[in-house]
Amino acid sequence: MTDLERFFRRLVANLAASDPSRLHRPLPLEDIHGSIMPYRSNRRALQLESSEDYEMVLLRLCAGEGGLVRTEPEEARARFAEEIRSPNPDLRVLRRFENVLVSLQSESLARALGPEPDLPYALPAPVPPPVAGLDLLALDPLDEVEALPQPESDVEPELDEDLGPGGPHCLYCGGALPGDRPVRFCPHCGQRQTPPECPQCHSEVDPGWRHCVSCGTTLTDH
């Protein structure tokens, strides 16, 4: 499986787990890297070493590589494709267009929701030969197969979210924040670090939410 296919499958899995209805609706590009699949909490599953690797795969996806998604407006998709072809792609191009929408292609979505493509095919268990003197018709077929005990494993399953060493990190890009002073804005991406709140009921909301979970008020970008 390529990095691009793994990225797309992870995007589909995250949407299916959080809000399956969004699988069939256009997704704002800023939501993909901001709330649906942020780099820091998905990098282990994506097997990517850096945020630059993450943004490069995202740029390839939005440029139309592999035909996995449709990017609108066409001007943005064409600009992304042009940057991919350059010797040194400028990843900042992902943030130079406003209101970019990404729609998952139906065929690619169906494949991603299906079984993993690289799992080996399991051959059926051989049927044991009949034993002389036994009336096989009187036996329950389920009685002929005995389940083998499963070995216990002491290995803890890996978590997707890598908390890393202690210290604060940016709510948006995951970059490390200075721990020896108050931080109101991220030195890497410039986003505000104080938790946003609903303007109507003043409940705390998460970055990327479009509506308040307490009163339903439409939220502006935080």
pLDDT digits (tens, 9 = 90+) for 200-212: 887 777 777 788 8
| Same-domain pairing of 93 and 191 | no
Strands (E), 93-169: 101-104
Contact 70/102 with Cβ under 8 angstroms?
yes
User: What does the DSSP assignment read for 77-103?
Assistant: HHHHHHHHHSSS--GGGGGSSSS-EEE
Query: Which of 61 and 171 is assigned the larger pLDDT?
Result: 61
pLDDT at 150: 58
- The tens digit of pLDDT for each residue in 93-151 reads 999 998 999 999 999 999 999 875 544 444 444 455 555 554 444 444 444 444 555 55
What average pLDDT does this structure show over 18-30? Answer: 95
Tokens of residue 62, six digits: 């939005």
% of the chain exceeding 70 in pLDDT: 74
Give pLDDT, residue 89. 93
Same domain, 21 and 108: yes
Q: Is residue 41 assigned to a domain?
A: yes
Q: How far is Cα 60 from Cα 165, in angstroms, rounded to an integer?
A: 31
pLDDT attached to residue 132: 53
CA distances from 37 to 68, 136, 151, 167 (A): 16, 55, 34, 22
Confidence of residue 168 (pLDDT cuts 50, 70, 90): confident
Query: Residue 193 belongs to what domain range?
Result: 172-222
Q: How many residues does the chain have?
A: 222
Last residue of a domain, one of 92, 113, 134: 113
Q: Is the torsion defined by CA of 169, 12, 208, 30 positive or negative? A: positive
Task: Tally DSSP H helices, then E strands, for the chain.
Answer: 6, 3
Show which of 95, 113, 131 is a domain's final residue. Answer: 113
Please report whether residue 144 resides in a domain.
no
Q: Share the mean pLDDT of the chain.
A: 79
Residue 221: its pLDDT value, please? 58
128 or 162: whose pLDDT is higher? 128
pTM score above 0.85: no
**Rounded Cα gap, residues 152 and 133, in angstroms:** 39
189 and 108 within one domain:
no
pLDDT band per the 50, 70, 90 thresholds, residue 215: confident
Looking at the 3D structure of the chain, how many domains does it have? Answer: 2
Last residue of a domain, one of 76, 95, 113: 113
